[in-house]
């Protein structure tokens, strides 16, 4: 009896190998997604935008913030440039006004630049050349020239 059916022996990847491949692909995809939207290298995916205006002699107000729209004062780095000098640092709470209950700066918050180490107490807006406002973990900064 002659059977006209073609008999083929098909081989496939074993279930163990298939499972390992699926897990590996999932890990690679998850890592790629994390790198695209995660906090890699200390830089956030959003850039800081803010407007800062001066109010009194050395008090400056944050008129608006976005990406982020608020930040803890320990994360707000301020640089002041005057004459041929510069000071960069973080301000203690006493040099801030208009914070929310979590000590976060936001639109409407004000800061006094004489609170930075190295900035003379008698510095006035007329002597300040530039103020930079930067938030840790975010790229970019905003500056104001009084």
**8-state DSSP, 127:** G
Helix extents (H) in the chain: 15-37
Q: Which CATH architecture has domain 49-144?
A: Sandwich (2.60)
Q: Tell me the torsion sign for CA atoms 64, 69, 72, 78.
A: negative
Q: What is the pLDDT of residue 45?
A: 38
Preceding peptide of 68 cis, ω within 30°: yes
Task: Please compute the mean of the pLDDT values over residues 64-71 and round it to a whole number.
Answer: 80
52: pLDDT strictly greater than 80: no
Q: What is the 3-state composition of the chain as percent helix, strand, coil, each rounded to the nearest 5?
A: 25, 35, 40
Q: Using 50, 70 and 90 to split pLDDT, how confident is the model at 47?
A: very low
């Amino acid at each position: 009896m002659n059977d006209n059916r073609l008999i083929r022996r098909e081989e496939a990847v074993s279930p163990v190998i298939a499972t390992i491949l699926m897990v590996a692909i999932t890990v690679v995809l998850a890592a790629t997604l994390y790198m695209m939207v995660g906090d890699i290298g200390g830089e956030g995916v959003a850039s800081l935008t803010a407007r800062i205006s001066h109010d009194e002699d050395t008090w400056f107000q944050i008129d608006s913030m976005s990406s982020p729209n608020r930040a803890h004062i320990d994360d707000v780095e301020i640089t002041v440039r005057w004459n041929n000098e510069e000071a960069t640092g973080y301000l203690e709470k006493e040099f801030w006004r208009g914070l929310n209950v979590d000590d976060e700066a936001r639109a409407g918050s004000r800061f006094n630049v004489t609170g930075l180490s190295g900035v003379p107490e008698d510095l006035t807006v007329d002597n300040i050349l530039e103020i930079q406002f930067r938030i840790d973990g975010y790229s970019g900064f905003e500056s104001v020239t009084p």
